[in-house]
Structure 1
Amino acid sequence: MDNHTSASPLSLRVLSLNCWGLKYISKLRNERLTEIGNQIAAAEPPPEIVGLQECWTKQDYDAIRDKTKHLLPYGKFYYSGIFGGGLVILSKWPIEESNMTQYPLNGRPAAFYRGDWFVGKGVAHAKIRMGPKKSDIAEVFCTHLHAPYEAEPFDSYLCHRTAQAWEITKLMRGAAERGHLVIGLGDFNMIPLSLAHRIIETHSPVRDVWRILYPDSSVGAARDKVEQLRGVPMPNAQFNLTQNGATCDSALNTWRWNKAHSQRLAKGENVQIEPTVDDPNAKRLDYIFFSGGPQYDVTNGEQTTEWTLKDATVGMTMRHPTLYCSLSDHFSVEATLVRDIGVTPSNVQSSSTDPSERYLPIETYDEILATIKKYDLRERTQRRLRLGHFGFQLLFTIGCLIGVWWSPENYVSFILMLLSSLSLSVGVIDGLMGGLFVGSELRALKEFQWEVENTRTRALANNSAKQS
């Protein structure tokens, strides 16, 4: 038997980090990601399962693997979309099975400057064998949900992110129903208690590790209205790290500094920011969810165990040793899970919970359906406009070709031919987007709508049963 699976582990250290490794765009990418590998290898306690996001290139993956292979000998770089999904899972134990599931709703090709559609965002899934027993299986789900480009509820991609949360929730629920330890991690691009967050914690048995330990932690940046309504005082940077779990837009992250500080840093000055500075922009976008409820295998009488949370921290806050910049524009979120080996069949029945019996309030499903309807109308309008634009450009092209016949000069003919070629090219691209892409997205919306309506119906029936 493999020496990594010879004994069942009693604890498990998990780490998730958005590496900010955009090729040609992210500054000092090679140096930073190499140092990320160094810091993962030097972490104490050492991580045993690591999920990375925005590790876009195989070169950067190999650099991190080279630094961590003695600690995390098993790893998978996930291929997706046109440019890759940027997802990586590293493990101390063997990865028995793996797959990449792309989200049905995943951005728009017209927004090429944002890139979400082109990278094929989805869920990287690894089934990890941690020991010899049937209960020693962890199913790890690493993801990076669609980025918000406006504040909710005005974000035009809110429907996408909601649908993506719904999809990963189904995958994690299925893993829990198989009796495995479930770990969901990544950059979810959502704030705590947002719609996507509530979907994940309601429709699957997983829980947000940070809110288990810090239930009163922030639900957004201090400058956000949702946080101001809570009436809490302005947090400093240290409080945001240790109590609010803020992983993004921290005042301590050099990639969020003002121009003056950034210029000093670029000149090689090791600029220091006091941890007591006010931190109005920091928020939590990176998460670790887990579910490790007790199980009992009646087939062979094997008693299994329950995983519980020991601690959760924000990590990878150190800076590059020579460049003095933060290692990423995000900090990591880390957690330690421990095993309770005292589980018995009697307390299994009392503590187990069927996630299919938990529902959101009916008005929340109505909110999701309203979001779907709003986005559906938008896309139908977009399809009409794009197909209309294709028709216009086609007529314009024909007009230019006809105009060549009466062209008085050769240079005029050249201009008309050039215009006709460009016009037809633009029209065809818009026609393909309207006819093919939007049609595909509308069908994915219908599937999502049916699932929400079906769940809403079950929630109504459940409410009626409780009242009767």
Structure 2
Amino acid sequence: MTNSLSVLSLNCWGLYIVSKQRQFRLRAIAHAIDEGDYDVIALQEVWMLQDYEYIKQTLSPKIKYAEYFYSGALGSGLAIFSRYPILSSNFIRFTLAGRPLRVLEGDYYVGKGCASVCVRVPEIGLVDVYTTHLQAAYGDKDDYEAQRITECWQIANAVRASVTQNRHVILTGDFNSIPSSLCYKIIKLHGLMTDSWMQLHEDTLKDAQVRFERHELSASECIQYFGITCDSPLNTWTKRVLKQHPFAKDIGDRLDYIFYSASPHLQCIQSKVVMEGYIPNTQWSFSDHFAVHSLFTINNTNKDHSPFNTGQDHILPNYTCLTPSTFHDILDVIQFDITRSARSSKKLLVLLGFCLIAVLALFIVQVVLSSTYSTTTDRTNLIISSIIIYLLIFLLSVVGTIALIVGFVFGKTEQRSLIQYTRDISNCLRHVET
């Protein structure tokens, strides 16, 4: 008997206040999903609980099971909907995500991580469905590559653990990483995942690239030929930011993926970018990302539903498909970030020292001024001076406290976390090289 499993992944861009037309778009997304035929829907950046509840209610006649993941001060933004009963759920908080002084980016204050549910699909047994939203780069200079690498390492270890439990795995989300990145390699080669879109389009990519360089492909065709999900000139929300037009040479990036543990029981037969058009009766895109839809065929002719033979080497803890050169590239990026973090912490601790000295100096000035004006009847100048001095002391105390917390507490935590990742990755590398 052969059946199918339909999976959708979308970054909904549901930030409060920041995201344009958020409520209208999220409702349109809910109705668009409801009109489709999906068994599993994984959504990212659903930051508002009311948006999640609306989507849940809209999908409930067809999709009866849902899980919203609470984490951090402002939530994870992750939600998974399933046609099949959810047996369990789990959330892995990323060790490193964002930096506290970059308040406007907000990543440090939300609960970034990887969410998962375990569902039982009658034809093939247990399936672990993961979804995630990795740290963004923010601008041309990518200060967060090392953090994304550590996030992918966490995810890769999680999906490997699922495989060792003889469960099928589907991993979705906005990885903020292109297919040539180290993060992508970690998921594929260490997490032992198959990129569903690439699996079906790899043979046509070379021809599409030639046609693109000859200017024979429109921006719309590029979306499907290259799997573009973000920064497309056809997206109404990103083209304004990037000042693109529909025929811009910069066609966008493929940042959103549906990975899976390929096996004789579960094979991808269709994968494409969807929801790339406008919301009906508007000139607005559904989100600043397009969605990815993959259709899997389920074959349960074999009574053994496990995705792999448990006697095979790839379930061993030290098994990996990463090459030594890739390992060294990963370690170089992390080591560079350790140096950057130490340098940043040192600057903040120097600032803390300056604040302490300045506060002590201001107290001395205040004592001297009080003694000087103690014999005068007009104490107006003393009062004004005291107000200014105590205001400066307060401001310096605030700055010093922030410098202490960020420079020492966060800084040391970040550095030690990165060092631990280098040790974990180096252990894996040692087995590859022996």
Query: Could you state the TM-score of these two structures normalised by the residue count of structure 2?
Result: 0.89
1:290 matched residue in structure 2: 260
The aligned amino acid for 2:346 is R
Q: How does 1:19-418 map to 2 (within 5 A)?
A: 19-43=12-36, 46-131=37-122, 135-151=124-140, 155-215=142-202, 232-234=213-215, 235-258=217-240, 277-278=247-248, 280-294=250-264, 306-343=265-302, 354=314, 356=316, 357-407=319-369, 408-418=381-391
Structure 1 pair 260–166 and aligned structure 2 pair: CA distance change class (3 A): closer
Q: Say which is worse superposed, 136-145 or 439-448, in terms of deviation.
A: 439-448
Q: How does 1:436-447 map to 2 (within 5 A)?
A: 436-447=409-420
Kept after mapping to 1: 8 A contact 2:129/2:171: yes
Q: Distance in 1 between matches of 2:205 and 2:237?
A: 22
* Cα-to-partner distance string for 1:129-165 (whole Å, 9 max, x where unaligned): 223x7x41110110001101245xx522110011111
Kept after mapping to 2: 8 A contact 1:293/1:352: no
1:430 matched residue in structure 2: 403
Q: Distance in 2 between matches of 1:185 and 1:216?
A: 23
The aligned amino acid for 1:37 is A
Query: Could you state the TM-score of these two structures normalised by the residue count of structure 1?
Result: 0.83
Instruction: Give the C-alpha shift of residue 341 in structure 1.
Output: 2.6
In structure 1, list runs of 5 or more residues that go unmatched: 1-7, 263-272, 295-305, 462-468
* Cα-to-partner distance string for 1:319-354 (whole Å, 9 max, x where unaligned): 223443111000100100111233477x97699772
Structure 1 pair 454–56 and aligned structure 2 pair: CA distance change class (3 A): same
Instruction: Give the C-alpha shift of residue 278 in structure 1.
Output: 4.7
In structure 2, list runs of 5 or more residues that go unmatched: 370-380
1:266 matched residue in structure 2: none
* Cα-to-partner distance string for 1:184-223 (whole Å, 9 max, x where unaligned): 000000001311111111112211111101115669xx9x
Q: Say which is worse superposed, 367-376 or 314-323, in terms of deviation.
A: 314-323
Kept after mapping to 2: 8 A contact 1:169/1:204: yes
Q: Distance in 2 between matches of 1:371 and 1:217?
A: 32
The aligned amino acid for 1:195 is L
Kept after mapping to 2: 8 A contact 1:204/1:355: no
Kept after mapping to 2: 8 A contact 1:293/1:307: yes
Kept after mapping to 2: 8 A contact 1:182/1:291: yes
Q: Distance in 2 between matches of 1:453 and 1:427?
A: 37
The aligned amino acid for 1:393 is C
Q: Distance in 2 between matches of 1:355 and 1:218?
A: 32
SS in 2 for 1:119: coil
Kept after mapping to 2: 8 A contact 1:51/1:88: yes
Structure 1 pair 258–146 and aligned structure 2 pair: CA distance change class (3 A): closer
CA RMSD of aligned residues (A): 2.8
The aligned amino acid for 1:256 is T
Aligned residue pair count: 417
Q: Distance in 2 between matches of 1:326 and 1:338?
A: 30
The aligned amino acid for 1:362 is P
Q: Distance in 2 between matches of 1:351 and 1:251?
A: 49
Q: Distance in 2 between matches of 1:324 and 1:314?
A: 19
Instruction: Give the C-alpha shift of residue 30 in structure 1.
Output: 0.5
Instruction: Give the C-alpha shift of residue 384 in structure 1.
Output: 1.4
The aligned amino acid for 2:226 is N
Q: Distance in 2 between matches of 1:442 and 1:218?
A: 40
Kept after mapping to 1: 8 A contact 2:163/2:315: no
Kept after mapping to 2: 8 A contact 1:240/1:279: no
Instruction: Give the C-alpha shift of residue 444 in structure 1.
Output: 1.1
Q: Distance in 1 between matches of 2:38 and 2:232?
A: 23
The aligned amino acid for 2:234 is L
Kept after mapping to 2: 8 A contact 1:150/1:156: no
Q: Distance in 2 between matches of 1:328 and 1:348?
A: 37
